[in-house]
Structure 1
């Protein structure tokens, strides 16, 4: 049987190391890990997605993205005709953003992030991983590997300004009931992981390892 290619995209500023606990059967799945690249000046998210899509070398891959990576794989899907798109701890449209992100868009507050954000690991970690990770900053420091200020300001702006207003029902959404970055009360029609936080790719990996294969292999009704 030909293996199913699965491409993983990490969350904002994160490295593929966030997937180190994800183990899919090598007899069935061929795992590949995409990485963030420094954006060109004023690069549109759609153009960036096209550029990252050129790193995908299989037809009809499965795309899996976490947080901002979940937003990006939805944009990448326009260029690669995926077998499935699965997002984890993310959103399927800007209607699912919490109020603070909608306010940031309306007031352009995203422009007020410090220019030296790369040096402020605590601020970056809160935005990327959630408010509750302060006590374990050292653990997560290794996962936030992209410290280029051009990337960080671009990424934060492109999260806030994501223009998708309608949900693509073909996108499979896995979300934690305790996600503090994208609270469950704003999320519609997802697979709920009980007590999963925004970093459940790290601490709910057993659930994911058990269920991702079934979700990938499940045929549409």
Structure 2
């Protein structure tokens, strides 16, 4: 499951051995009126079929697959660049929840990546915007407002000890200082699904097959 508003294209460089795995890419659906995250997770779970299921989610997709776990009964849940409970949220998320500042976000502007790119943000930000333009496929105002609210208001405080958490030590969205009990990827940022694919391709099979003691620790 890709991250917030993201397309399955974010997994284009993830290549698990085809003789051992069938990979199924999930896509975001537009939420129903007043649909809860739990109800949404149950609805999306109906698209998951087969045996020996491993759920993998990135960022908000990581939150969602944890909610889907109750309905799918997977063998494993792996989250990448995500959180296991709202206790791992950074302080700014908690402030946004208290003040309801997330309701004031300029959603229409955020959806228009091309318009944002017209402003002078500097080379680094403009390169990031180009990535967003390629990989963000859901540009529906209702979806984006709903998604942001579901993240900020996520009420899970008890960590599921069975969830396997892969996290970059340079993640700027969910800073490492708030994260506990993760498998750390050196120099991994919040978009490490794109630029740490070599590490993931090497180590995901080991994680899935319970050989975590053999993980490469370089994160390269």
Measure, in 2, the Cα distance between the counterparts of 1:73 and 1:212. Answer: 17
Return the alpha-carbon distance in structure 1 between the equivalents of residues 182 and 126 of structure 2: 28
1:6 maps to none
Aligned residue for 1:79? Answer: 71
Q: Residues 113-165 of structure 1, C-alpha deviation per residue, up to 9 Å, x if partnerless? A: 1241453428999xxxxxx6543322331100100000000000000000100
Q: Deviation above 3 Å: which 4+ runs of structure 1?
A: 117-120, 122-125
Instruction: Work out the CA distance in 1 between the residues paired with 2:12 and 2:43.
Output: 25
Question: In structure 2, the residue corresponding to 1:63 is in which secondary structure?
Answer: strand
Are 2:129 and 1:137 equivalent residues in the alignment? yes
Determine the structure 2 residue equivalent to 1:170.
162
Question: What are the superposed Cα offsets for residues 176-200 of structure 1, whole Å, 9 maximum, x if unpaired?
Answer: 0000000000000100000000000
Deviation at 1:166, TM superposition (A): 1.1
Q: Is the CA contact 2:77–2:162 (under 8 Å) kept in the aligned structure 1?
A: yes
Structure-1 separation of matches of 2:126 and 2:94: 25
What TM-score do you get using the length of structure 2 for normalisation?
0.89
User: Cα 1:44–1:142, aligned 2, differ >3 Å: closer, same or farther?
Assistant: same
User: Counterparts in 2 of 1:1-221, with a 5 A limit?
Assistant: 9-121=1-113, 133-218=125-210
Structure 2 CA distance for aligned equivalents of residues 206 and 117 of structure 1: 34
Q: Could you say which structure has the higher strand fraction? A: 1
Distance 1:70 1:133, change over 3 A: farther
How far apart, in 1, do the equivalents of 2:74 and 2:107 lie? 36
Structure 1 contact 12–68 (Cα < 8 Å) conserved: yes
TM-score by length of 1: 0.89
Q: Which runs of 5+ in 1 are unaligned?
A: 1-8, 126-131
Q: Give the Cα–Cα distance (whole angstroms) in 2 for the partners of residues 122 and 174 of structure 1.
A: 31
State the alpha-carbon separation in 2 of the partners of residues 80 and 69 from structure 1. Answer: 15
Q: How many residues align?
A: 207
